Structure 1
Amino acid sequence: MLMHSAVSAHFVTILEGGDFAEPAHRDLFSAVVALRDRGQRTTPDTVIGELRRRRSPLGAETVHAVASHAPVEAVALYYAAIVRDLAALHRKPSSATLEGMAPMPMRGFLIDEDD
């Protein structure tokens, strides 16, 4: 959402703040959504300002690091769907821990098996 404002509308239909396991990712997502909802640009600098306004512990270094590692636009929505799907699995009572989660083959993404 920091680097691909053209697809940010899709992100908010796929994800919500609670989908992120890391508090830092939730804070960052919430700040970007707040800026977007107010009609402001979601550049790294405006997001840093919003995080400061919210007294978030996230610093400028973190925001710039996230922005520099953003996937290309074509892949960004794919990653958002992965976050959404993993969040749904974590919400299931039987998968409260990683040990309780069923194995999920993600060929070509996390493992190097293309057979």
Structure 2
Amino acid sequence: MSKTLIGTPDPDRPPPEPVLRDEHAERTVLAALLHHLQLAPYLMAVLHATHFSSPACREIFLAAAAVHHHTEPCTPAAVTAELEHRQQADSGAPAKAAMDMVSNLARAVVQPESVVVYYAAIVRDLADLRRHAAAHPEGMPSMPMRGFLTDDDT
């Protein structure tokens, strides 16, 4: 039995654009990076600065990575000092917003480590989807349809 769709694309409603960023997941990962010092090696191995969608989050991650590579603990004070150092070296960096975000993350409630690992995977996977969407703009988006199916056999 075969089915035939009778109908046309819905002209009234454009297809919804997928949201390919999760700011909550990014902030949760960064807050954990500043509080769970034992998670820093794992997060540095799994994530990259380009995985973060916000420029301030990218700057915080880069500063935390620099602190971690200097074999210092990624505390909020050390990351803020690194951000200040970067701001002096490059005045175009969004370091002011990043420093404000670090102070907010320092006071944030931190999730358990297992939740942070889950959020790190979300941040990484959404970055992969953003890269795929940018590389394949001709992809087939979902298209709302009006119509109904009819049986061809009857």
Shorter chain as denominator, the TM-score bin is: 0.7 to 0.9
CA offsets 1:47-94 (integer angstroms, 9 cap, x no match): 111100000223543212123143222211111110000000000146
Distance 2:140 2:104 in 1: 30
Residue 92 (1) aligns with residue 132 (2) = yes
TM-score by length of 2: 0.58
- Percentage of matched positions with identical amino acids: 34
Q: Give the number of the structure whose alpha-carbon radius of gyration is greater.
A: 2
Q: 2:123 aligns with which of 61, 80, 83?
A: 83
Q: Evaluate the alpha carbon distance shift between residue 70 and residue 96 of structure 1 in structure 2; reply closer, same or farther with a 3 A threshold.
A: farther
Residue 26 (1) aligns with residue 58 (2) = yes
Q: 1:13 aligns with which of 24, 45, 50?
A: 45
Higher strand share: 2
| Structural RMSD (CA) | 2.4
- How many residue pairs match? The answer is 101
2:125 counterpart SS class:
helix
TM-score by length of 1: 0.76
Aligned-pair CA distance for 1:34: 0.4
5+ long unaligned stretches in structure 2: 1-32, 88-94, 143-154
Identify which of structures 1 and 2 has the higher relative contact order when contacts are C-alpha pairs closer than 8 Å and 6+ apart. Answer: 2
